[in-house]
Amino acid sequence: MSRTPIAIIAAIVGLIVYLFVVLAIGDRVLTLHWAVQALYFVIAGSLWVLPIRWLMYWSVHKR
């Protein structure tokens, strides 16, 4: 069985969960200083790439 369907499902579910967590924390960050907001949204907007990158490599490499 190919790993690709597993990776696609894991990516979709993972990104949805990540989105809800980032948005929930983002609501609290909106009351803080603009510099803290900018830092949070830059980090939160970039951090999802790391697990997705790993998942993509895992899905195409065979053992």
* Contacts of 8 by beta carbon, 8 Å cutoff, 6+ apart: 59
Residue 62 reports pLDDT greater than 80: no
* Contacts of 3 by beta carbon, 8 Å cutoff, 6+ apart: 58, 59, 60
Q: What is the pLDDT of residue 2?
A: 84
User: Tell me: the pLDDT tens digits for 17-56?
Assistant: 999 999 999 999 999 999 999 999 999 999 999 999 999 9
Residue 36 CB-half CA count within 13 A: 9
- Phi, psi for residue 36 in degrees, rounded to 5: -65, -40
Residue 25, token pair as written in the block: 């924390």
| Number of domains the chain contains | 1
Task: Tell me, yes or no, if the pTM score tops 0.85.
Answer: no
Domain with 46 in it:
4-60
Residue 63 reports pLDDT greater than 70: no
